[in-house]
Amino acid sequence: MHEPEFHDLSDDSDYAASQQQGLGGSVFGSDPGMTSGFNEREGSEVVYSKDNVTIHPTQYGSERISGRLRLVKQGPSLFMTWVPYKPSPDGADFLGNNSNSALSEKDRNLYTITPVPLSDVRSVRRHTPTLGWQYMIVVLSSGLAFPPLYFYSGGLREFLATLKQHVHIVRSADDANVFLVNDFQDPLQRSLSSLELPRALSVVNGVSSKDLASSVPSFENSERLNGRTYYVNPNTSEYSRRHKHKSHDPARDISLQVLEKFSLVTKFARDTTSHIFRESQSNSFDSYERKQQKQSPELIPAISTPSEEQSHSNDGVVEPDPLEFDKINLVWGNPRQPPLSSDEWAALLDSEGRIMDSNALRKRIFYGGVEFNLRKEVWKFLLGYHAYESTDAEREYLASIKKSEYETIKSQWQSISPAQAKRFTKFRERKGLIEKDVVRTDRSISYFDGDDNPKVALLHDILLTYSFYNFDLGYCQGMSDLLSPILFVMEDESEAFWCFVSLMERLGPNFNRDQNGMHSQLFALSKLVELLDAPLHNYLRQADCLNYFFCFRWILIQFKREFEYEKIMRLWEVLWTHYLSEHFHLYICVAILKKYRKKIMGEQMDFDTLLKFINELSGRIDLDGIIRDAEALCICAGENGAACIPPGTPPSMPIETDTGLYSSQPEDL
């Protein structure tokens, strides 16, 4: 009875879960912050902990109580708890909404979930809507249910995966989204699962940057930011007064965002042209400060009434770009350079063909790209197929090995006879998907045009071979777009395949069934826009566009549909350098959005109009200008920008298991 259902469950988790199988996410050692009436004693172990799990006490999305959800194992029993955070001093949650403040301490206590044994739980129903956040509803054996718990930082899947490891859960036959929970009693099951116990997982450096990005701004946080800005500008009396004031009354006079902006500007100033800053302190700085204050989100109500919206549109004034000041006073992006030439390339290699200074190479390509005829060679390094320190001879050897490896994998599907294929639905389906897509991929490029073009067949063979190389991921729409320029440059089946494999190592999560890779990038993008253009962020929030799905195509296939063929090759090699940031593509997104911010806000675009507008930008974006803008934004955002991007966000390499996917941290509030 259990077997098919277990099978069903794991099948659902597909690719991502198969990569994480058996990790369990257990972290040893009990959590010191773990109190709240829970019977603390030796041997209690937090096996799952997730921050920013949120309850909406009313129908209004803006009213929310965020907290931490945990699964704690004590002896043979598993308990679930959810403890709301204490209200943050400035009343802002991690999304920058000033929402919690309206809720009383009583509300908070009311919703707290004191440790409830999983044996009391009847079922968990999960909801993974695409508009909004995923949530679950836990139903107790008594028939009572907890209010929906929204996973603002993801983690519903891990929650279920962890549950699955410790208690029997089976999928309801009626509804695939309902999981029936039984207590963990069968001793055989228990011993089986203890065999699976994870290799020792270490918690990295206490607080990861993910926590920095998503943590509820706390008093300590503001203090720290204050301290930092104060350090740069000790002489500004106005500033120290504000600083003092803030320390005494952290409540609401300046939002954290403003402080973040200050630290951003001052960091930028310190790093580059601090003298300009000091000279203009008395005038520009003040005006900048005033501007910042004006844009503080507190002045824009979280829920604007229709009449307010109206007046907003009537005066037709779009809030100015908060970085306008930087544009005027500081160098905005470096001028683009001509592409890397053969001579330069030759000079970068030692006598055996090693790249002597990979950083210099990446920098050079970041600022200028690569001449077309060099791409074939250089892309292999950028994509990570070749190591920078490898020699010519090593690479030649590798190529021959890889060629036969490719042939081996390819022969796996080639050997499937038509009769066998008849009984192999998954194979037929997969082949069908690929056949449908290759014939409509870049057929207007002369390389792929015409009837029965053998290059189209190559695309097919490589993609089908890839779907055997990575059977769990398979083929997804969009992959043919990613392969096309690679094949065009490599002009060799096996080399193109391996370069594609390298690219997919980073972009694979974009295609996960649960869309996690996409969600984390879209989320990071929203945080970056919030940091770099608060008025635009506020506009998008008010227009209910914060899910950023209008940027889905940009991110899924790295802007492939947005630029002409030659341009896309240029952009890709710039992105692949990972020179300023692994996530430079997100800064490109911000740069494009900022470029059209006036139009977006001025015309009061709603989601539909915005998506249409964005899709129609295709082929009309000035690449060099956008790269320059993105570069400046990336530098400007500095560490604050990096902190917006959770670790493991594609195209970062997936987080290794031993970095602790489910690390438990002490209470941060």
Ligand X SMILES: Nc1nc2c(ncn2[C@@H]2O[C@H](COP(=O)(O)OP(=O)(O)OP(=O)(O)O)[C@@H](O)[C@H]2O)c(=O)[nH]1
Residue 36 touches which member of another protein, ligand X, none, C-beta under 5-8 Å by kind: none
CB of 477 to ligand X, least distance (A): 6
Integer CA distances (angstroms), 82 to 108, 146, 403, 629, in order: 11, 10, 53, 43
CB of 61 to another protein, least distance (A): 7
Q: Are 260 and 640 in contact (CB under 8 A)?
A: yes
Residue 61 buriedness (CB in 10 A; 0-12 / 13-18 / 19+): middle
Of the two residues 178 and 204, which places its CB atom closer to another protein in the complex? 178
Of the two residues 373 and 477, which places its CB atom closer to another protein in the complex? 477
Residue 557 touches which member of another protein, ligand X, none, C-beta under 5-8 Å by kind: another protein
Total site size for another protein, rule CB under 8 A = 52
CB of 128 to another protein, least distance (A): 6
CB of 585 to ligand X, least distance (A): 23
Q: How far apart are CA 537 and CA 600, in angstroms?
A: 11
Q: How many C-beta atoms lie closer than 10 Å to residue 312's C-beta?
A: 18
Q: Are 80 and 115 in contact (CB under 8 A)?
A: yes
Integer CA distances (angstroms), 50 to 15, 67, 82, 112, in order: 22, 8, 9, 15
Nearest alpha-carbon partner for 61 in 128, 139, 131: 131
Integer CA distances (angstroms), 272 to 234, 363, 578, 632, 636, in order: 18, 18, 21, 12, 10
What character string, x for contact with another protein (CB under 8 A) and - otherwise, covers 448-487?
----------------------------xxx-xx------
Of the two residues 192 and 317, which places its CB atom closer to another protein in the complex? 317
What character string, x for contact with another protein (CB under 8 A) and - otherwise, covers 555-594?
-xx---x---------------------------------
Q: How far apart are CA 348 and CA 354, in angstroms?
A: 8
Residue 574 buriedness (CB in 10 A; 0-12 / 13-18 / 19+): buried
The encoded tokens of residue 15 equal 């690719």
Of the two residues 106 and 440, which places its CB atom closer to ligand X in the complex? 440
User: Which residues in 84-123 contact another protein (CB under 8 A)?
Assistant: none
Q: Are 573 and 364 in contact (CB under 8 A)?
A: no
Single residue of 607, 647, 654, 668 touching another protein by CB under 8 A? 607
User: Which residues in 143-172 contact another protein (CB under 8 A)?
Assistant: 147-148
For helices 584-595 and 516-532, give the axis angle rounded to 10 degrees.
50
What character string, x for contact with ligand X (CB under 6 A) and - otherwise, covers 384-423?
----------------------------------------
Residue 533 touches which member of another protein, ligand X, none, C-beta under 5-8 Å by kind: none
CB of 482 to ligand X, least distance (A): 16
Through-space distance between the first and last CA atoms of the chain, rounded to whole angstroms: 45
User: Which residues in 40-59 contact another protein (CB under 8 A)?
Assistant: 56, 59
User: Which residues in 293-352 contact another protein (CB under 8 A)?
Assistant: 306-307, 309-310, 313
Single residue of 444, 452, 454, 620 touching another protein by CB under 8 A? 444
Of the two residues 63 and 631, which places its CB atom closer to another protein in the complex? 63
Q: Please, how many CA atoms are within 13 Å of residue 411, restricted to the half-sphere of its CB?
A: 6
- Per the DSSP assignment, residues forming a β-bridge with 340 are 370
The encoded tokens of residue 343 equal 């001579």
Q: Could you tell me which stretch among 71-79, 129-137, 464-472, 586-594 binds another protein (CB under 8 A)?
A: 129-137
Nearest alpha-carbon partner for 170 in 183, 160, 180: 180
Asked if residue 275 binds ligand X (CB under 6 A), the reply is no
Of the two residues 324 and 449, which places its CB atom closer to another protein in the complex? 449
Residue 306 touches which member of another protein, ligand X, none, C-beta under 5-8 Å by kind: another protein
CB of 437 to another protein, least distance (A): 6
CB of 439 to ligand X, least distance (A): 7
CB of 7 to ligand X, least distance (A): 29
Asked if residue 647 binds another protein (CB under 8 A), the reply is no
Single residue of 514, 530, 582, 629 touching another protein by CB under 8 A? 514
CB of 573 to another protein, least distance (A): 22
Nearest alpha-carbon partner for 209 in 658, 638, 634: 638
User: Which residues in 366-405 contact another protein (CB under 8 A)?
Assistant: none
CB of 329 to another protein, least distance (A): 37
Q: How far apart are CA 497 and CA 405, in angstroms?
A: 11
Of the two residues 150 and 500, which places its CB atom closer to another protein in the complex? 150
User: Which residues in 190-209 contact another protein (CB under 8 A)?
Assistant: none
Single residue of 615, 625, 658, 667 touching another protein by CB under 8 A? 615
Q: How far apart are CA 292 and CA 254, in angstroms?
A: 10
For helices 358-368 and 372-382, give the axis angle rounded to 10 degrees.
130
The values of phi and psi at residue 391, to 5°, are -95, 165
Of the two residues 158 and 442, which places its CB atom closer to another protein in the complex? 442
Q: What is the DSSP string of 488-551?
A: HHH--HHHHHHHHHHHHHHHGGGG-TT-HHHHHHHHHHHHHHHHH-HHHHHHHHHTT-TT-GGG
CB of 478 to ligand X, least distance (A): 10
- Left (φ > 0), alpha (ψ -120 to 50) or beta: where does 615 sit? alpha
Residue 567 touches which member of ligand X, another protein, none, C-beta under 5-8 Å by kind: none
Q: How far apart are CA 349 and CA 447, in angstroms?
A: 31
On the question of a cis peptide bond just before residue 57, with omega within 30 degrees of 0, the verdict is: no
Asked if residue 432 binds another protein (CB under 8 A), the reply is yes
User: Which residues in 466-505 contact ligand X (CB under 6 A)?
Assistant: 477
Of the two residues 75 and 132, which places its CB atom closer to another protein in the complex? 132
Q: Give me the long-range contacts of 202-206 (CB less than 8 A, separation at least 24).
A: 202/658, 202/659, 202/660, 203/27, 203/660, 203/663, 203/664, 203/665, 204/659, 204/660, 204/663, 206/665
CB of 72 to another protein, least distance (A): 27
What character string, x for contact with ligand X (CB under 6 A) and - otherwise, covers 427-456?
-------------x----------------
Q: How far apart are CA 590 and CA 32, in angstroms?
A: 40
Q: How far apart are CA 43 and CA 41, in angstroms?
A: 6
Of the two residues 20 and 480, which places its CB atom closer to ligand X in the complex? 480
Residue 422 touches which member of another protein, ligand X, none, C-beta under 5-8 Å by kind: none
Give the nearest residue (CB) to ligand X. 440
Q: Name the site residues for ligand X (rule: CB under 6 A).
A: 440, 477
Q: Which residues bind another protein (CB under 8 A)?
A: 56, 59, 61, 128-132, 135, 147-148, 306-307, 309-310, 313, 429, 432-433, 436-437, 439-441, 443-444, 476-478, 480-481, 511, 513-515, 543-544, 547, 549, 552-553, 556-557, 561, 604, 606-609, 611-612, 615
